[in-house]
Structures are given as structure tokens and as C-alpha cells.
Amino acid sequence: MSTSDRKWEALIENLKLSRRDFVFSTLATGALTLTPRLVGAQAAQPYKIGVLLPSTGTGANYMAHCIKGLPVAIAELNKRGGLLGKHQVQMVYRDDETKPDVGARETKSLILNDKVDCMFATYSSAVALAVQEIIHEHKVLHFAATSNSSKITQDNYSPYTYQFCPDSNMQSGAVVVAVSRMATKNKWKSYVSLGQDYEWGRDTHKGFTTGLAKINPEVKEARQMWFKLGETDFNSYITAIMAAKPDFMFGAIAGKDAETFMQQASQMGLFKRVPFPGGLIAVNDLKAQRKTLPRGIIGLARCPFFAHLKEPIMQAYIKRDRAAFGADGYPDDWACMYYDALGGLEQGAKKAGSTSTEAIVKALKGASIDTCRGKRTFRDCSNQLNVPSYVGEVWDSPDYPFPIYKPETMIQVEGNEVWTPTCEDVEKLKKKRA
């Protein structure tokens, strides 16, 4: 057993026994970046991945599983010999603190000092946009698997960026499809919107309102309300929503604000009066809020494991993570998508026959790869992976200690059905890069 194998095993042992997972994993990862000098000369040039994800700020609790799960995934890849069977993969982790200038600085540090070959980044779209400036300038591969503003693959397009997460337009599109069915069935006429007052919130809101107006023009938005990020008291918003007596409400709310809103709204009985379809409720939310999440509410997810239980890759992810993190350790949406990014890297290298960035970029262009969501293809013009968005009803399952989406009513909206705009329009949006 080689030194690096032993170190990986020790790391996994640490992860299983220790409560403070990511403290150890970051310390260990830091130490592991020093191991190149210790690894024997028989291995070929190691391949370094810079993982830039927040463990501070609003994104921290979303990325927690991912940050501890990626080293385990990489260890498994390395057991198979690494990329192309000969390049051991090393992970260098940095915290971007959910701040764009920290993200830009850490990306520079990873590229120039740690000499990473590829970046996995990040959680916040604003940070992703700043990171793209750096990776494009230095011609470094960039896999995005959580930050999902459509700007990343369109306005701010870089040929080095590949997106593994359904983008904001695709997600809005999915909600429109689901809500449209409900509106037609229940003869809904009016709705109220509540959104986080920042770019993602505004973008998501616009996507939904324009999309719904096209298919169900008879449904009108009676009111829109916006709140500042970090709002702790939704009482006044909730009373205002109830006073308007809408048929349903639409929410462009994510992160901890979503949890605060859900908790306060359900305690005030809002959802008994006003249906709230399509809020972002990912697997990590289902797990974390299992005691407080109102059942029956319609949520939106990006890569829930229970939607693809038949896929062998998904089964492998579940098995591996539960072995490493305990019976409750099902991987959440974000972890699954970053694992897919790792898988995409492996397959891209194989297709290219090389680990050079230019070769992998060429190999992945418009290519099909195997993911936990089945075989998926990258869109030619934007490098967006054609992946579904999932809308379903929160429901207690006998198979899991936390609620999932009810399988009978869950809808999967394919990416290519809702990825606006057309490739022709995407080309017009792309900004010119020097």
C-alpha cells in the first residue's frame, strides 16, 4: 500500500470518527498538499484540483457535505489509479467565504501558488462570475456544480467553464411547468411573489413571471414583495400575503432565509391558506429540517438522490457516502453534482487521452458523459449539461428517516425543454473577452 493510500485511509477514519469533520478535513487536506514530496517517484505527475467552496457565510451549511465528501470520492478515484489510470488526484481546498473578492484572490492563489490544473467552484453565482475572470485569463479548467446563474454559461461565458447544475432559467422553467399544471387544474387567477432582493432572486422571479405569463396568461401577479438578505422576521410579510388573499404564492428565496421563512410561515399557518409551490427544497434542507418542514408543500430540487435510485452511479455515491458518514449520510444535491464533476473530469481525460486542459476542453465540448442522473450531454453553445430539475411534494417516506419528494407526483423537467434562450440568442449574450 503506497504512502498516499495510507494517508487517504487515515483521513477517512478521521472523517468517520470525528464530529468536527471539516476541521479535520481541511487540516488534513492542507497537510496533504505537502505530500507531493513524499509520494514515490513511480507515480506520474499528479493532477491537482482546486476546490473553492464556502465554509463561512451563507453557503457554508449547503457545502458542508460536499467539502467532506470530495476527499472520499477522490480517494476512490485514486484507488483506481487516478486519471487515465496513472495520475493521482490531489485536492486543495480553499474557503471563498461566499465573497467575490476572496474568491478571486483564492483562485489566483490556487492557480499561481498551488498550481492547480482544474477548479471546482463554487456556491455563490456572484463569486463564480469573479472566479471566471481569473480562470479564463490563466486558461484553467473550471467545473461549476452549484452556482447556477445563467450568466455563468451565457453572458460571462468562457470555453473553460463547464456547468453540471441546472441553471437558473432551467430551474424557473421547471417551476413554471409544475405551477402551470396546478393553475390550470385549480383555476388559479392571482398570486403574490416574495423574493430575496438580490440578483438571483430578481432573476428567478423574472424567469417565473415571464414564463408563466406565456403559458397561463390568465394568471396575474397581484403583488411583489422583496426583502433584504438575512431577514430574521417575516411576520409582516406573511400577514401582508395573507391579507392579499391570493390563490398561491411564488417565492424566490434560498439559503437560510428560505428556512427561516418556511418555519415562520408554517407556524403562522400560511400554507393552510396559501399554497406555496416551487420553493427551493434540496436534499440538505429535507434532511436538516425534517422535524419542521411542512409536509405536502411543493418544492424544487436540483439533484435529489431519490429521483435516480436505479442509476448505478447514484447507487455508488450513496453507498460510498453512507459508508464514510454513517447511515444518515445520503449525499445531497450539491455533493452529487460535484461528484459528477469529478466523474466528468475522469471521463473527459479518458476521451482526450490526456490531462491537458486544452485537450479536455475539446473532448468535453458537446460530449455525453455518464452521471448519477444517467447519460447527459453538454450543450454546444454554453457548456451547460442537459440535466433535469425536479418538482415534488414533501412526503414522509418509510425508507428514510427524513422526508423526500413523493415518487408518484414528482415531476422531472428535462433541461433541454426549458433551457432558454436559444443557442442563437446565447451567442448574442456572450460578452467579448479580450
Partner 1 sequence: MQPGWLARHGLTVPVAILMLVLFLLVPLLPGEYWTQVATEILILGLFAMSFNLLYGYMGQISFGHAAFFGVGAYASAMLFTRLKTAGGEIGMLDFFLSLAAGPPVAAVAALIVGFFCVRLTGIYFAMLSLAFGELLFYIVFSWYSFTKGDDGIQGLLPPSFFQDAVNFYYLTLAIVTLALLAMWRITESPFGYIMRTLRDNQRRAAFLGINVRLHMLINFVIAGSFAGLAGALWGPFSRSVNPGLLGWQESGIAVFMTLIGGAGSIVGPLLGSVIYTMLQAVVKMYTVYWPLTIGTIILLIVLFLPGGVLGLVEKRIKARRSGDGDAGSREA
Partner 2 sequence: MDIGPYVLQLFSGLSRAMVLFLLSAGLSLIFGVMNILNFAHATLWLLSGYITFSIFTFLSEQLGASPWLLLPAIVGATALMALIGFALERFLIRRTYERDLPEQLLLTFALVLIIGDLIKLVWGVENRRINLGVQPVEMFDTLINPYHFVIVGSGVAVAAGLWFFLHRTRLGKIVRAAVYNRNMVSALGIPIPLIYGLVFAAGVGLAGLAGGVFLPLLPMALGVDHDVIVQCFAVVVIGGFGSMLGTFVASIIVGVVYAFSILFWPDGALAMIFLIVIVVLIWRPWGLFGTELRF
What b/e readout covers 237-270, taking b as 16+ CB neighbours within 10 angstroms? bbeebbeeebbbbbbbbbbbbbbbbbebbbebeb
- CB nearer to partner 2: pick between 42 and 232: 232
- Of partner 1, partner 2, none, which one does residue 276 interact with (CB within 5 to 8 Å by kind)? none
Which region, judged by CB under 8 A, interacts with partner 2, from 221-229, 360-368, 372-380, 394-402?
Answer: 221-229
- Minimum CB distance to partner 2 smaller for 272 or for 310: 272
Question: Which CB, 63 or 258, lies closer to partner 1?
Answer: 63
| From 232, 399, 424, 428, residue interacting with partner 2 (rule: CB under 8 A) | 232
CA distance 88 to 48: 8
Which residue do the cell numbers 432565509 mark?
A: 257
Give CA–CA dist 273/244, Å, rounded: 11
Restricting to residues 82-111, which ones interact with partner 1 according to CB under 8 A? 94-95, 99-101, 104-106, 108-109
Q: What size, in residues, is the chain?
A: 434
Q: Which is nearer to partner 1, 129 or 341 (CB)?
A: 129
Mask for 184-213, x = binds partner 2 (CB under 8 A): -------------x----------------
Cα Rg for the chain, rounded, in angstroms? 21
- Is 134 within 8 Å of 111 (Cβ atoms)? yes
Cα separation, 164 vs 414, whole angstroms: 14
Interaction between residue 289 and partner 2 (CB under 8 A): yes
Distance of alpha carbon 342 from alpha carbon 70, whole angstroms: 9
Residue 243 makes contact with partner 2 by CB under 8 A: yes
> Residues in contact with partner 1, total (CB under 8 A)?
39
Contacts of 217 (CB under 8 A, 6+ apart): none
User: Are 172 and 202 in contact, with CB atoms under 8 Å apart?
Assistant: no
Other beta carbons less than 10 A from residue 123's beta carbon:
27
89 interface partner picked from partner 1, partner 2, none, CB below 5 to 8 A per type:
none
End-to-end CA distance of the chain: 48
Asked if 427 is part of the footprint of partner 1 (rule: CB under 8 A), the reply reads: no
Q: Which of residues 178-237 bind partner 1 (CB under 8 A)?
A: 197-199, 202
Name which of 77, 46, 122 is nearest 320 in CA terms. 77
Identify what 239 binds: partner 1, partner 2, none; CB under 5 to 8 Å per kind: partner 2
The CA distance from 140 to 206, in Å, is: 33
Looking at residue 307, what DSSP letter applies?
A: G
The residue to which cell 490526456 is assigned: 354
Nearer to partner 1, 148 or 347 (CB): 148
Please report, as ranges, the residues that interact with partner 2 according to CB under 8 A. 19-20, 22-23, 55-58, 60-61, 64, 197, 224-233, 235-240, 242-243, 256, 259-260, 263-264, 267-270, 272-273, 288-289, 291-292
Please report, as ranges, the residues that interact with partner 1 according to CB under 8 A. 22-23, 26-27, 30, 33, 55-56, 94-95, 99-101, 104-106, 108-109, 112-113, 125-126, 129-130, 132-134, 137, 149, 151, 156, 197-199, 202, 431-434
